[in-house]
Amino acid sequence: MAMRSAFNMHHSDLQNFLFAPVWDEKNGTTLSILSALARLDMDPWREAARLADMPRSVAATTLASILARLPGDNLKLSDSATLSQRLVEFLPEGRSNAGTETTGVGNSDDNGGSWRNIAIGVALAAILVISQMNGWLF
């Protein structure tokens, strides 16, 4: 059964970018762009959409400055620029609106949708807790 669009929280055209590997951590795990943005307390999907709407060169420069803020063994600025150039290639083609005004389509729903999803999650968690307290769950 297909998921209704109201419940689809993320843009599938951004997944290749968000799950692209940035580097391997010291513990052997691969750091993805999604994880890197989350570590910086940024909304990965919103930031990816913002980068996708930029020209590639601007997106690469912006991403390099974001990656430079990661804690730990950061890359040299030149390495960060090279890495960012490679990573922006994962952004979807044709999303750039450079030189045009944004229409704002979907912007109001993004914030409303996020709050709606949080409210639904809180309500479901409350139902789960009440059910467990009353012995209705195994």
Number of domains in the chain: 2
Q: Are 88 and 37 members of one domain?
A: yes
The pLDDT tens digits for 29-82 are 888 899 989 989 999 989 999 999 999 889 999 998 888 888 766 555 557 788
For residue 107, name the pLDDT band (cuts at 50, 70, 90): very low
Residue 120 counted as domain residue = yes
Q: Are 41 and 71 members of one domain?
A: yes
The alpha carbon of residue 68 and the mean position of all alpha carbons in its chain are separated, in whole angstroms, by: 17
Query: 48: closest CA among 88, 86, 93, 82?
Result: 88
- pTM exceeds 0.85 for this model: no
Q: Are 82 and 120 members of one domain?
A: no
What is the Cβ-side half-sphere exposure of residue 130, based on CA atoms within 13 angstroms?
6
In order of 30, 48, 51, the CA distances from 17 in angstroms are 14, 7, 10
Question: For residue 75, what are the domain limits?
Answer: 12-98
SS3 30: strand
Joined tokens for residue 64: 């390099």
Q: Are 75 and 28 members of one domain?
A: yes
pLDDT of residue 7: 45
Provide CB contacts within 8 A for 102, sequence distance 6+: 53
Q: Are 74 and 31 members of one domain?
A: yes
Buried b (16+ CB within 10 A) or exposed e, 8-43: eeebeebeebbebebeeeeeeeebbbbbbbeeeeee
Q: Could you give phi then psi for residue 109, rounded to 5 degrees?
A: -75, -30
